[in-house]
Amino acid sequence: MLRFILTLLALFAAPLQAQESVVLGLSQNRVSISANFDGSEILIFGAVKREVKTPVYAPLEVIVEVTGPPEPIVVRRKERKLGIWVNSDSVEFPPAPSFYALATTGPLNDILSEADNQRYNIRIGAQIRLDVPEDNELNLPEFRDSVIRIRKRNGLYSERIGTVNLDQETLFDTRIALPSNLVEGDYRTRVFLTRNKQVIDSYETVIAVRKVGLERFLYNLSRERPLVYGLMSLAIAIIAGWLASTIFRVLRLT
């Protein structure tokens, strides 16, 4: 009898939970990188839309994730030889997010199952793949952890547990800080709703990060006409050196 009741609850709970969906908003969906750009902050807010009232079997949780354009990663280990620090072993990982920010309503282990984490690739550790040549005898997880640690120190990776504000299991908001050393591209923004550690709905949008002004001109020139860009850089360096030496001579004479 008990098994029959539990089966009925499971059958009714699934369609009811499927009625919960995310309605998302951003304070801005475009970030411009100019000469004086020193970072930005995005307010991510939204609501949980319900077509029918959902029985509360477990509290609702919210996960917000922002990832930057993927780029290859090369990690080198330094060793001290003859009193000098030199590069020794190195690992090149497949493209991984250049930026990663995670905000949640609670500890990730308490609100997300490992199966759904692998399915949606939410944790940063799941996004840095280890599919390198099998004959590589290095400790790959150690190199991956080094990548995460270094990028966290540089402000490119962050996990802010408990920073998503959820009101009456309906309205939520959080803020994501974007550092000044951003890579240009589309930043994928995903929001997940979970109950009982299971994802019941998700929503995805994009924040466009683009260079503007002189930065945009130099960026395009370096890629579309690299020879002209190189000659121009050399000319600027020569002129700057000549001006510096001239000013130094004038100051010495006075």
pLDDT tens for residues 66-75? 999 998 877 7
Output helix, strand, coil percentages for the chain, rounded to the nearest 5: 35, 40, 30
Q: Please state the rounded mean pLDDT for residues 79-89.
A: 61
Residue 2 clears pLDDT 60, i.e. is over it: no
Classify residue 89 by burial, with Cβ atoms within 10 Å: 0-12, 13-18, 19+.
middle
Characterize the bridge pairing of strands 40-50 and 20-26: antiparallel
In the prediction, which pLDDT does 199 show? Answer: 94
For the question of whether the overall pTM of this predicted structure is more than 0.95, the answer is: no
In the prediction, which pLDDT does 219 show? Answer: 60
What's the CA gap between 81 and 116, in Å, rounded?
45
Instruction: Looking at the structure, tell me whether residues 171 and 131 fall in a common domain.
Output: yes
Instruction: Give pLDDT tens digits for 16-44.
Output: 444 789 999 898 888 887 767 788 899 99
Q: What is the CATH number of the domain that holds 131?
A: 2.60.40.3880
Q: What is the total count of domains within the chain?
A: 2
Domain that holds residue 181: 2-211
Instruction: Looking at the structure, tell me whether residues 120 and 7 fall in a common domain.
Output: yes
Would you say 46 and 23 are in contact if contact means Cβ atoms under 8 Å apart?
yes
Instruction: Looking at the structure, tell me whether residues 197 and 228 fall in a common domain.
Output: no
Instruction: Looking at the structure, tell me whether residues 119 and 221 fall in a common domain.
Output: no
Instruction: Looking at the structure, tell me whether residues 178 and 141 fall in a common domain.
Output: yes
What's the CA gap between 10 and 13, in Å, rounded?
5
Q: Hey, which residues does 246 pair with through a beta bridge?
A: none
Characterize the bridge pairing of strands 84-97 and 157-160: unpaired
> What is the three-state SS of 177-198?
EECCCCCCEEEEEEEEEEECCE
Characterize the bridge pairing of strands 165-167 and 30-33: unpaired
In the prediction, which pLDDT does 80 show? Answer: 63
CB atoms < 10 A from the CB of 176, how many?
A: 24
Q: How confident is the model at residue 166 (pLDDT cuts 50, 70, 90)?
A: very high
Average pLDDT, the chain: 79
Looking at per-residue pLDDT, the higher value among 237 and 139 belongs to: 237
Instruction: Looking at the structure, tell me whether residues 57 and 124 fall in a common domain.
Output: yes
Looking at per-residue pLDDT, the higher value among 72 and 201 belongs to: 201
Would you say 174 and 164 are in contact if contact means Cβ atoms under 8 Å apart?
yes
**Residue 129 host element (H or E):** none
**Maximum mean pLDDT: which of 117-126, 206-215, 229-238:** 117-126
- Write the Ramachandran bin of 213: left for phi over 0, alpha for psi from -120 to 50, otherwise beta: left
Q: How confident is the model at residue 254 (pLDDT cuts 50, 70, 90)?
A: low
Instruction: Looking at the structure, tell me whether residues 13 and 116 fall in a common domain.
Output: yes
Looking at per-residue pLDDT, the higher value among 50 and 205 belongs to: 205
Instruction: Looking at the structure, tell me whether residues 191 and 225 fall in a common domain.
Output: no
Looking at per-residue pLDDT, the higher value among 139 and 11 belongs to: 139
Instruction: Looking at the structure, tell me whether residues 173 and 220 fall in a common domain.
Output: no
Q: Please state the rounded mean pLDDT for residues 134-152.
A: 73
